[in-house]
Chain A
Amino acid sequence: MKILVCISKSPDTTTKISFTENDTKFNEDGVKYIINPQDEWYALVKGIELKEANGGTVTTITVGTAEDDAIIRKALAIGADDAVRIDLKATDASQVATEIANYAKSEGYDIILLGSQTIDYNGSQIAGMLAEHLDLPFIAEAESMELSGNTAKLDQEIVGGVQSVEVDLPFVVSCTKGMAEQRIPNMRGIMAARTKPLKVVPASGANEYTSFVKYSLPAPKSAVKLIDPNNMDELVELLHTEAKVI
């Protein structure tokens, strides 16, 4: 079984966000990059679990520059067999999805897994775009998946609840909490990762459909108004008359 996991780098979750060049670029000074958490904890680990249960290979794919190799090696240390990096610094989701699709379409993957969103641009766009390019079904926000033979049973988050579905291979799935548990790479994995194949392929020239022209930060909050813990009537009154939210 051929499994593809799309992984992206993202700033560490504790990063203080700032911008440079007249607020047109994310300030990368001193930023520590990690594998996007949803990609690592849920998509990658689920991919490895599928391989452990069914045999096959787990390949990761990333659209990025040589700066991304560190997080790719970490994915290999966690247990992916090999990695592909499409050599392009991209911020537009359409461009990223098209590049991945152009690579994946001739590879015949059985399952393509992604995290439900990245914590930097939060668009949740790549999975659906990739599924459309490859003409595959797409199960969004899956929190569990069981595979028997050629058919997968999944539970996915929907508005206000959970939906159970069945779908035949091949398909695209975006993974959220519940799908798998984070794995910490062990020393053997880290050593093995150094020699696992990381293939760098040139970009195919996909177009950029969108671009960020300006960023801004939220206005600083005014100081908190403290309410006497014995006077909850006052809090309710303020929420009604001052904040006008109830």
Chain B
Amino acid sequence: MSILVYVNSNGDKIAKNGFEVVTYGKKIGDVTVVTNGNASESTLSELGKYGASKVLVDRSFEGIDGQQVAKMVVAAAEKEGSNTILFSADVYGKAIAPRVSVKLSAGLVSGATGLPQSDGTISVNVFSGKAFGQLKVNTDKKVISLLPNSIPLEEVGGTASIEEFDGNVGESKVKVTGTKVPEGDIPLTEAELVVSAGRGMKGPENWGMIEELAKELGAATACSRPVADSGWRPHHEHVGQTGVAIRPNLYIAIGISGAIQHLAGVNGSKVMVVINTDEEAPFFKAADYGVIGDAFEVVPRLIEAVKKFKASN
């Protein structure tokens, strides 16, 4: 079965969630990747390692305009005879996959967390991660977007042929005038480790130790809603029901009580650690490891412990 996977290779870079979707596709069929822009052959050939047998690249346009990319993806699906189209459910996939589903009159599974089951249904998170749903697609053509960090990468060591391709995408109606992507920061939705802090930190001036702990661990930083609402941290760091939903391997919550709305955004995490002075904080019921103590004393000790661990491993 031919599976078509859209991968974002802008900036000559493919993010981990791009390779995740190739791994996912390889488990259900023969993977062709479609991408656009000026990525080098060596970058694109990385896709072969994870199981892509072919990469179609449209060199006629750059960027991630939803209307253009959707046209390209549909043209590639027709060329390859693919009835299953895969995306990552990041902000780009969320904008493009719905368009492709309309163009192909195909059912969309948005935010899949696993492979199709034997009955054909696919699991997704519902109610902001408070529950799971098995979704059945009633159409022959299917569009699936995969939640980042839902499947471990698997190298199969293949090679991909790279083919130039023209998706006839036309002009973009959206003009990009600037981007601000802080250098060196790990995007929250892609991060395997996340250090998050709440009102217990008392003020934005105390975030130095949070950032230092994150840096030592190679983690992204996040925060609770009151912290983002108070302007202590940028909005895009807010995790929870009305912010970003994440599913890292490790989530460390510092000075966050663990209201149901916050837990909804993070309970897909594999392991959760809570550090809080209040032993009655609801987070202790959700976490795997808990430390009852003052963040201002515990976090510096944890930073030292992580440094020591890194030095000896």
Range for the number of chain A residues in contact with chain B: 35 or more
Of the candidates B111, B286, B306, the one whose C-beta lies within 8 Å of that of A123 is B111
Which residues from A are CB-within-8-Å of B131?
Answer: 17, 19, 215-218
**A178 in contact with B291 (CB, 8 Å):** no
**B130 in contact with A17 (CB, 8 Å):** yes
The chain B residue with its CB closest to the CB of A98 is B102
**B185 in contact with A160 (CB, 8 Å):** yes
Of the candidates A157, A178, A216, the one whose C-beta lies within 8 Å of that of B91 is A157
Which residues from B are CB-within-8-Å of A157?
Answer: 91, 235-236
Alpha-carbon separation in the docked complex, A160 to B180 (Å): 9
**A127 in contact with B179 (CB, 8 Å):** no
Distance in Å: Cβ of A239 to nearest Cβ of chain B: 7
**B98 in contact with A132 (CB, 8 Å):** yes
Counted as pairs of residues, one from A and one from B, with CB atoms less than 8 Å apart, the total is 277
**B242 in contact with A13 (CB, 8 Å):** yes
**A239 in contact with B250 (CB, 8 Å):** yes
Alpha-carbon separation in the docked complex, A125 to B174 (Å): 20
Binds B, one of A68-76, A102-110, A184-192, A228-236: A228-236
Given contacts A218-B131, A232-B305, A235-B302, contact A131 B138 (CB under 8 A): no
Of the candidates A125, A177, A213, A214, the one whose C-beta lies within 8 Å of that of B98 is A125
Interface residue A149 (Cβ < 8 Å from any Cβ of B): no
Interface residue A226 (Cβ < 8 Å from any Cβ of B): yes
**B109 in contact with A210 (CB, 8 Å):** yes
**A164 in contact with B179 (CB, 8 Å):** yes
Binds B, one of A47-55, A114-122, A195-203: A114-122
**B178 in contact with A215 (CB, 8 Å):** no
Which residues from B are CB-within-8-Å of A131?
Answer: 66-67, 98-99
Alpha-carbon separation in the docked complex, A232 to B106 (Å): 51
Interface residue A168 (Cβ < 8 Å from any Cβ of B): yes
Which residues from A are CB-within-8-Å of B308?
Answer: 233, 236
Of the candidates B128, B241, B292, B301, the one whose C-beta lies within 8 Å of that of A226 is B292
Which residues from A are CB-within-8-Å of B192?
Answer: 245
**A153 in contact with B302 (CB, 8 Å):** no
Distance in Å: Cβ of A51 to nearest Cβ of chain B: 24
Distance in Å: Cβ of A228 to nearest Cβ of chain B: 8
The chain A residue with its CB closest to the CB of B277 is A229
Q: Do most interface residues of chain A lie in helix, strand or loop, or is the interface mixed?
A: mixed
**A225 in contact with B96 (CB, 8 Å):** no
Given contacts A94-B108, A239-B289, contact A214 B176 (CB under 8 A): no
**A120 in contact with B99 (CB, 8 Å):** no
**B291 in contact with A226 (CB, 8 Å):** yes
Alpha-carbon separation in the docked complex, A164 to B305 (Å): 41
**A162 in contact with B236 (CB, 8 Å):** yes
Which residues from B are CB-within-8-Å of A167?
Answer: 173-175
Of the candidates B90, B124, B134, the one whose C-beta lies within 8 Å of that of A159 is B90
Interface residue A161 (Cβ < 8 Å from any Cβ of B): yes
Which residues of chain A in 118-159 are interfacial with respect to chain B, using CB atoms and an 8 Å cutoff? 119-129, 131-133, 137-141, 143, 153, 156-159
Alpha-carbon separation in the docked complex, A47 to B236 (Å): 22
Interface residue A37 (Cβ < 8 Å from any Cβ of B): yes
**B175 in contact with A165 (CB, 8 Å):** yes
**B260 in contact with A13 (CB, 8 Å):** yes
**A122 in contact with B125 (CB, 8 Å):** yes
**B102 in contact with A133 (CB, 8 Å):** yes
**A132 in contact with B102 (CB, 8 Å):** yes
**B98 in contact with A97 (CB, 8 Å):** yes
Alpha-carbon separation in the docked complex, A120 to B261 (Å): 12
Which residues from B are CB-within-8-Å of A233?
Answer: 305, 308-309
Distance in Å: Cβ of B222 to nearest Cβ of chain A: 13
Interface residue B139 (Cβ < 8 Å from any Cβ of A): yes
Alpha-carbon separation in the docked complex, A122 to B126 (Å): 6
Distance in Å: Cβ of A13 to nearest Cβ of chain B: 5
Interface residue B177 (Cβ < 8 Å from any Cβ of A): yes
Interface residue B70 (Cβ < 8 Å from any Cβ of A): yes
Of the candidates B99, B185, B187, B289, the one whose C-beta lies within 8 Å of that of A224 is B289
**A125 in contact with B288 (CB, 8 Å):** no
**A245 in contact with B193 (CB, 8 Å):** yes
**B137 in contact with A224 (CB, 8 Å):** no
Which residues from B are CB-within-8-Å of A38?
Answer: 242
Which residues from B are CB-within-8-Å of A126?
Answer: 98
The chain B residue with its CB closest to the CB of A178 is B235
Contacts A13-B242, A97-B102, A160-B186 aside, 18 further interface pairs with beta carbons under 8 A come to: A14-B260, A17-B131, A122-B111, A122-B125, A124-B110, A125-B108, A132-B98, A138-B95, A158-B92, A160-B182, A160-B190, A162-B179, A164-B178, A171-B173, A213-B135, A215-B132, A235-B289, A243-B288
Residues of A at the B interface (CB closer than 8 Å) are 11, 13-15, 17, 19, 37-38, 41, 93-94, 97, 119-129, 131-133, 137-141, 143, 153, 156-168, 171, 176-178, 207-218, 221-222, 224-227, 229-230, 232-233, 235-240, 243, 245-246
A-B pairs with lowest CB-CB distance, top 8: A128-B98, A229-B293, A161-B181, A160-B187, A209-B107, A123-B110, A232-B305, A132-B102
